Amino acid sequence: MTLEDRPWTAFYGPGVRTDIESPSYRTIGDLIGSVADTFGSAPAFTTCLPNGMNGTLTFDQVDEMSDAFAVYLREVAGLTQGDRVALQMPNCLSFPVAAFGILKAGCILVNVNPLYTADEMAKQFSDAKPHALVIVDMFADKIPQATRGHPIPNIVVTRVAEFLPSMPRGIVGLVQKYWDKSVKPIEVAHIRLPDALEAGRAHKQAEKVEVDGYNQSVKPDDVACLQYTGGTTGVAKGAMLTHSNLIMNMEQTMELIAGVKKGEEVALTALPMYHIFAFTVNLLGFYWLGAQNILIPNPRPLSNLKRAFENYKITWMSGVNTLFNGLTNEVWFNDSPPKYLKFASAGGMALQSAVAEKWEAVTGKPVLQGYGLTETSPVLTFNPLGKTRDGSIGVPVPSTLVTCLSDDGVPVQIGQSGEIAAKGPQIMAGYWNKPDETAKVMKDGWFLTGDIGVMDTDGYFRIVDRKKDMVVVSGFNVYPNEIEDCLATHPGILEAAVIGVPDDATGEAVKAFVVKRDSGLTEAEIRTHCKEHLTAYKVPKRVEFRDELPKSNVGKILRKDLRAEELAQLAAE
């Protein structure tokens, strides 16, 4: 396939470029400063808490504060260009300040799921070897265990209510400390984010530091983010996403999103910004558009979103199937759907047709489904507004080639299924310190997604199946090997296998098949054991005890047989 052989471009809207020759900005640092110059005192980010308490930072404030944090990292903490900085927090005003400061400093941002257990944090820290960690106080008690054997020299602690006005900030602090006791004593040396900013400001003024100087030595192809994905093997791999990867994918996606206007949008960000879709589209894309970004620290329960919809004229939102499904089952949402919404976009997991139909019936606006992976920054395809197709992941974004390959690596005929492969400026530079893993997925410039798809005659794509065993729970990737490894550490378990099974609430759910070593072992004991070592969405929702598990001639447990049995049973029921 060549750039000239792209039937899907016929569905691009008027004025949409089929090719984006080069990114509009050399680095993300350039983008941040340029956008701030344009939108200045307009609201950029607003944290909205469930009770309606809120706080806002303007574009100018985010620019100045991220400058201060960049100076703190380089001049006070002593980091150098290319050093890794881990960022572990939910959506809050501290996120853009810290993320933009890390990138302005010429450092590499390492996004970390704030819900990770200490064991999961340790695996990622061991691989990335960050020189600094910016973490929300609710999870800072995990640091000693997570950094055992690979200490992180610089710890910066922030709060969910950071940069909110003093009264709501104080109220939240009191509730967390005395009511729900969600903040525990921090037992490691650290600095608070506001103090780090003040130290950076003081040094900047005293030493006449020019933050642009850090950025000048950064190249477009330098790594901006390590975005971790377990891959189909469950081995933690950091996808190296460059400044050019992320800026180009932001522009590619925005090119296909019709109807948005610079300086006029209000975006609801309920998806966590440490997730690559929200990072590229919500954090970068809507900052670039000059939108006001309404940040939701925790969208569960869904009533946490009620005040955001009531208090702000939301014009755009992103989510996963479970979010859209859940909202349309909320009485308050049905009684008063958003009046100013233009459309919503879905990613992270398959959008069910019934959910899309119900959403449009309630809101009067469509959900546009896209497709991508962490390794592709992430967007590869998107449904153009007004040209959506049921069950389709849409058409490739500009400057992108997508095809379907046979097991021999040869393009299949149109209408036949094959592994989806992609080529474009958004494809990662490779996996961090894992050349062998990189070689498995990069073939002659094509990235092999591991997903099986079909291309229609006019260029729309749809997903048929996943090539490997990955389970997607509410948009989050779950890898059976990791859970099986956890189960294997339980003394009462002889053997275990894990698969994904259909689930109305989360799309898929984790099911474990267990052969007992201890005849008295219970499902509750297994779940308790997993909760100690795994994030909640990875804990098996269902457990089935068996006398033995199906195996191949060489003794390999056959997950595919278990999956076939499960699907046959569901079909019979």
Closest residue by Cα to residue 464 from 473, 451, 475: 451
418 vs 406: CA distance, rounded Å? 5
- CA–CA distance from 43 to each of 160, 213, 272, 293 (Å)? 19, 27, 20, 8
291 vs 297: CA distance, rounded Å? 18
Domains in the chain, number: 2
Give this prediction's pTM. 0.88
Q: Is residue 171 part of a domain?
A: yes
Of 319 and 227, which is predicted with more confidence? 227
Closest residue by Cα to residue 1 from 377, 464, 418, 452: 418
**Domain boundary residue among 218, 245, 279?**
218
Q: Is residue 314 part of a domain?
A: no
159 vs 157: CA distance, rounded Å? 7
pLDDT digits (tens, 9 = 90+) for 133-160: 999 999 999 999 999 988 999 999 999 9
101 vs 18: CA distance, rounded Å? 33
Q: What ranges in 336-434 are assigned the alpha helix state H?
A: 353-363
Q: Is residue 59 part of a domain?
A: yes
pLDDT band at 232 (very low <50, low <70, confident <90, very high): very low
Check pLDDT > 70 for residue 184.
yes
Percent of the chain with pLDDT over 90: 74
Lowest mean pLDDT among 6-15, 165-174, 237-246: 165-174
Q: Is residue 325 part of a domain?
A: no
pLDDT digits (tens, 9 = 90+) for 189-214: 999 999 999 999 999 999 999 999 99
Domain CATH number, residue 117: 3.40.50.980
Q: Is residue 206 part of a domain?
A: yes
Q: Is residue 284 part of a domain?
A: no
Check pLDDT > 70 for residue 463.
yes
Of 407 and 456, which is predicted with more confidence? 456
Q: Is residue 259 part of a domain?
A: no
Domain CATH number, residue 505: 3.30.300.30
pLDDT digits (tens, 9 = 90+) for 552-561: 655 578 888 8
Q: Which helix (H) or strand (E) holds 130?
A: none
293 vs 271: CA distance, rounded Å? 12
**Domain boundary residue among 195, 218, 241?**
218
Lowest mean pLDDT among 309-318, 395-404, 487-496: 487-496
Q: Is residue 529 part of a domain?
A: yes
Structural domain containing residue 535:
478-572
**Domain boundary residue among 180, 195, 218?**
218
